[in-house]
Amino acid sequence: MLITPVLICWFALGLTTIGLAIYRKVLAKDEDTSIHLTHGGSAVVDHQAELAGRLAVIDKWGKTLTVITFVVGLLIGASYVYEALLAVPV
């Protein structure tokens, strides 16, 4: 089994996960975390709600991609060890 294409795909998956984390950091940079309750700040409240929704979606995908990247890495490592053990003469 050629492991190079699998490692390239795993590396791309890891870069995608890191890119999503950077995107979330940039998006949340200007987040206003104070609570606005007045009627005059309804535009601010709407913006906060929209940004919170977007960040929640990004967080969900980030957690999912992190777990997938970790599991794929474990599977690659396990298959490598398995192949190495098969190659050892008894």
Enclosing H/E stretch for 28: helix 4-28
Contacts of 61 (CB under 8 A, 6+ apart): 20
Tens digits of per-residue pLDDT, 20-68? 999 999 998 877 677 766 666 677 778 888 888 999 999 999 999 999 9
Would you state the pLDDT for residue 41? Answer: 62
Confidence of residue 72 (pLDDT cuts 50, 70, 90): very high
The C-alpha atoms of residue 77 and residue 70 are separated, in whole angstroms, by: 11
Tell me the whole-structure pTM to 2 decimals: 0.79
Decide if pLDDT at 80 tops 80: yes
Residue pair 56/31 in contact (Cβ under 8 Å)? The answer is no
